[in-house]
Amino acid sequence: MPGNITLRALTTGLCLGLVTTVAAKPLPLDQISLPDGFVISVFADQVENARQLARGDQGVIFAGSRRAGKVYAITDPDQDQVANQVYTIASGLKMPTGIAYRDGSLYVAAVDRVLRFDDIENRLDNPPQPVVINDSFPDRHHGWKFIAFGPDGMLYVPVGAPCNICDEPGFAEIKRMRADGSGLETYARGVRNTVGFDWDPVTAELWFTDNGRDMLGDNTPACELNHAPHQDMHFGYPYCHAGEVPDPEFGQGKSCQEYVPPAQKLGPHVAPLGMIFYTGAQFPEQYQNQILIAEHGSWNRSEKIGYRVTMVTLDEQRRATSYTPFASGWLQGEENWGRPVDLLQLPDGSLLLSDDQAGVIYRISHE
């Protein structure tokens, strides 16, 4: 049991109690632009640095964090789509960004290890000691992780590049392992830093976002949405970016044609994080089985870009045909008051969206 892990039960000081649709610090939700018929509200506030989201069998919403080092459990027992309580079920972890729920347990990725909290929905006020299922991951730059179980029952865990641009074996990969941490293997290579992926409900094939390299200018390279229908595909990093930009340092003697191009080029430096295929019935038909992406927003561009949710539309052959804004407004001029991170579909077909800057989780619904 690593010594830097502290667990604490819910106390009066940690309990939010009833959370209204207006956060503790009022947010300018009227600045958010959505397609006609869509509404955004605050599902839970005071969720410091909220990152990846997951939902338990009993309806508990879980959220990881990055700089806060905490894992949260959020409950809405009266099912009015506004959270009643926020529990801190773990603290003192190193960037526990990635979480996944399966068979009663919450899996948490904390940079160099993956932990499992068993029977967690029945232990919110007295969290169990975590089980370390794999502690073989490197503690390096881009070490924070998004994790998810695939249709094959394997837990997919990325290992980001330990740099802006470099060529180090064992990094810039998506790995997968069994739920008990055994059988770790590489699924995809040449992936600089993915912090979001999902499986196509039509084909059961993996799609993932990837953050492009920095320091080549404002408009190059594009960030990426990639499609990995089978194992052992290479997506270009560090030799080629966005399917068409040879790296000035590592691209010598390489051809971009050797690598898998993105299924859709996204905006340069938009920092695409969580993505999902929408499969609910609440949104209009044109959203069915299409991709929604949370763009965290640029930090390294002379004019900011991103800070929004976008939609990539696929045709019947599952090829990307368009890339358009879905929700925007967190960026006003050059000032941003929020940064979208991850998306989670609820059983009623609405979506939750985490925001690690505002420290809230929004609900997007269609009326």
pLDDT tens per residue across span 145-191: 999 999 999 999 999 999 999 999 999 999 999 999 999 999 999 99
Whether residue 4 lies inside any domain: the answer is: no
Residue 252, CA distances (Å) to 1, 133, 137, 310 in order = 46, 40, 30, 34
Q: Which domain holds residue 214?
A: 29-40+95-366
* Residue 25 DSSP label: S
Whether residue 63 lies inside any domain: the answer is: no
Q: What is the CATH number of the domain that holds 302?
A: 2.120.10.30
pLDDT confidence of residue 19: 29
Whether residue 82 lies inside any domain: the answer is: no
Whether residue 306 lies inside any domain: the answer is: yes
- How much is the pTM? 0.93
* Average confidence score pLDDT of the chain: 93
Whole-angstrom distance, CA of residue 157 vs CA of residue 169: 16
Whether residue 87 lies inside any domain: the answer is: no
* Residue 88 DSSP label: E
Query: What CA dihedral angle connects 320, 325, 327 and 332, to 10 degrees?
Result: 150
- Facing residues of 267 across strands? none
Whether residue 73 lies inside any domain: the answer is: no
In this predicted model, what pLDDT tens digit does every residue of 231-287 receive, in sequence order? 999 999 999 999 999 999 999 999 999 999 999 999 999 999 999 999 999 999 999
Domains in the chain: how many in total?
Answer: 1
pLDDT confidence of residue 24: 53
Residue 313 phi/psi, 5-degree rounding, is -95, 135
SS3 assignment, position 101: strand
Whether residue 102 lies inside any domain: the answer is: yes
Contacts 24+ apart (CB under 8 A), 204-207: 204/151, 205/229, 205/318, 206/150, 206/156, 206/174, 207/263, 207/275, 207/277, 207/291
Whether residue 360 lies inside any domain: the answer is: yes
